[in-house]
Structure 1
Amino acid sequence: MSSPDTDPPPLCDKDRKTLLSLAEQSIRYGLQHHHPLPVDSAAYPPPLQEPRASFVTLLLQGQLRGCIGHLEATQATVLDVVANAYSAAFEDPRFAALCAAELPQLEIHISLLTPAYPLTVASEEELVGMLHPGEDGLILEEDLHRGTFLPSVWKQLPEPREFVRQLKLKAGLPAGYWSEKMRVSRYTTESFP
């Protein structure tokens, strides 16, 4: 089980810029080749070779244009970001595939997740009281229902009770639902630019 004490250290500015550049390159490459940019993770600094889960969020004129990611670290950070950038641009089911004309105005945001750790909570009230608005990412799971909100979602949903209720809806559960079987995990992110 992970805890905040074992979270990876933040990336240096150079590594952050590398990831942002690779995300953009993967989207440009995807426009022509219809798959993510091929990357050899061994060619990058050790922090980018470490397995990290990531989300890539695309904004166009301040509006969401795509957001795809992973909750668990399954591959090198650099590979995860390149794959998620491509998927956010071309495979987010909420949006049509990105077109070349949108590239000049596209904003790319990367969130690197710390490992999620379970919270023991007996009620929605208890969960709401434990949350750190603006800091916590949250995962709710029960049976086949699963949803997450990145910490950046606090900008749209700053009130903890509404944050939790909207996350339940995203997971396909009723807003007022609570069950002893529900699993809740918390994580934080390193987000940039």
Structure 2
Amino acid sequence: MMYTDEEGIFVVKTARRVVEEYLNRRRVPEIEFPKKFEEKGGVFTTISTYPDRNLRGCIGFPEPIFPLKKALVESALAAAFQDPRFPPLTRDELNSVVFEVSLLTPPEEIRVKSRKELLNMVVIGRHGLIAERGFYRGLLLPQVPVEWNWDVEEFLSQTCWKAGLPPDCWLDESTKIYAFSAEIFEEEEPWGRIRRKEIGD
């Protein structure tokens, strides 16, 4: 475990606060981050409708290219206002959405002799995946295959599809598959209690 429950509560509250402040005042609030958040880290912010939990926005940074404090703020704003699948979040929606923050480990390429071995290397509920070939790249978080009840083959196929590639591209040696894990923290209800999300619960 890399992050404490207190740090998890902090990141979710921060994500909501950043979005709220931007909606109300068109600015990003000044936030005092723990020293740990100076370190570079990957993060995704997910916004879902409540209580039906339909996706409302999800954007982040899979690689640790920014200090976590910068990546968190940028991912929260992007999930709320820049996800091309949805219109920008409005002030009226703040009371009917929940925030979830996934703190990621650095992605590592899964290297296998036979592509079929990927079926034994990926663990549902533990791994998120990235499929990459040339300029094409797609990512799915660890919680996604659990929520959709996918097996490993379907998870690999859906990650390829997310990258804009054929679903069976994971069988092609020219496609790189990366795995990562995540610690996930979420609001149980809008403005409500924040908990560590155990994937599959």
TM-score by length of 1: 0.87
The answer to whether the Cα contact below 8 Å between 2:138 and 2:159 also exists between their aligned partners in 1 is yes
% identical equivalent positions: 32
Aligned to 2:172: 179
Which residue is 1:138 aligned to? 129
Give 1:100's aligned amino acid.
R
Q: 1:33 deviation in Å?
A: 4.2
Amino acid in structure 1 at the alignment position of 2:162: K
- 1:149 Cα deviation (Å)? 0.8
2:62 counterpart of 1:71 = yes
Which residues of structure 2 form unaligned runs of 5+?
A: 187-201
2:18 aligned with 1:20, yes or no? no
Displacement, 1:96? 0.4
Partner of 2:97: 106
Shift >4 Å, 4+ stretches: none
Give the one of 58, 64, 67 matched to 2:47: 58
Question: Do residues 128 (structure 1) and 119 (structure 2) align?
Answer: yes
Determine if contact 1:157/1:163 at 8 Å carries over to the other structure.
no
Return closer, same or farther for 1:123/1:166 CA change in 2, 3 Å cut-off. farther
Code of the aligned partner of 2:17? Q
* Post-superposition CA distance 1:141-177 (Å, at most 9, x none): 1111111111011221431111111111111111123
Following superposition, the deviation at residue 117 of structure 1 comes to 1.1
Could you tell me which runs of 5 or more consecutive residues in structure 1 were left unpaired when the two chains were aligned.
1-8
How large is the RMSD of aligned CA atoms in angstroms?
1.6
CA distance in 2, matches of 1:74, 1:33: 28
Residue type at the aligned position of 2:46: T
Change in 2 beyond 3 A, CA 1:123/1:144: farther
